[in-house]
Structure 1
């Protein structure tokens, strides 16, 4: 719901590294934003844009995830969402084209042998002309160039049947929560990925 607890106000919205002398179990905390970009050209079977990546320190581990990432400087969640979407996929949107946040969650995960906790909001954007809308070139960071394998439109059935992990896992289930969003942000709680 909209009155769900807010993430802690981190000293920096980008990576907040564990303090010197902190135990190895401490996680790198950051705030992040993600986008469920929907192609609704076929309303009976909408597709969401997904990114396939892999962990460079875990050979054989790959996964589908929604475009998004950490905030930079004093950037808002919406600004980060549209920036990350453009950088990772080439799809350029304006902040007002985002709906939500539809979901809020705290993701606990390890990547490249480093533990993270990411407080994130997930927005929805809709395209009715994905094949016609102009894109820009992706502007991947060095880490993205090393870890992103594909960017692909996928249906609910394709994600449900995917043989690899899907983040957020809710995309393997019923999409009604964000397709027919009622205006209340759903708190997905803490998830361990």
Structure 2
């Protein structure tokens, strides 16, 4: 795949953390490689004209049912750039991360779009020890150290 075939994208990611210090993770797969499952945080790409914070609030509602305002969201706690394949395409994604604390949350997946309904198979709350003992892939791979730096766990 040539460099010009990489799709540039901006995204918002949300670390949803409950009162027990666990982070909400979603399990999914790439339609081009359905046998390889992995875990990731809430979030997704920006829509045209949308700010990163607006995208985070929208994605949070669509993927969990939790409604919050941009003001409650606060400032990003981290940013990074990642590259990954998905559905036969290669993406380079600049992303900003937000932290949302909740006492608890019963996840409502009814707001999933068609691709999420087809590729997201599970949701779970992960503790720091879950990251240490899991044999499953999760993204970003340095998420446990980020959670420690943020004082989340």
Question: What TM-score comes out, normalization by structure 1 length?
Answer: 0.72
Q: After TM superposition, list the pairs within 5 Å mapping 1:59-138 onto structure 2.
A: 59-127=34-102, 129-131=103-105, 138=110
Q: Which has the larger radius of gyration?
A: 1
Deviation of the 1:23 alpha carbon: 4.4
Runs of 4+ off more than 4 Å = 22-25, 134-137
Number of residue-to-residue matches in the alignment: 152
Change beyond 3 A, Cα 1:77–1:157: same
What's the CA shift for 1:136? 5.3
Residue 142 (structure 1) aligns with = 114
**CA shift digits 1:122-160 (9 cap, x unpaired):** 010111x215xx765531111101100112111111122
Q: 2:12 aligns with which of 12, 33, 37?
A: 33
Residues 147-177 of structure 1: CA distance to partner in whole angstroms, max 9, x if unpaired?
Answer: 0011211111112222121111122336221
| Stretches of structure 2 lacking an aligned partner (at least 5 in a row) | none
Counterpart of 1:57 in structure 2 is 32
Q: TM-score by structure 2 length? A: 0.89
2:125 is the counterpart of 1:153? yes
More helix by proportion, 1 or 2? 2
Q: RMSD between aligned alpha carbons?
A: 2.1
Structure number with greater CO (CA < 8 Å, separation at least 6) is: 2
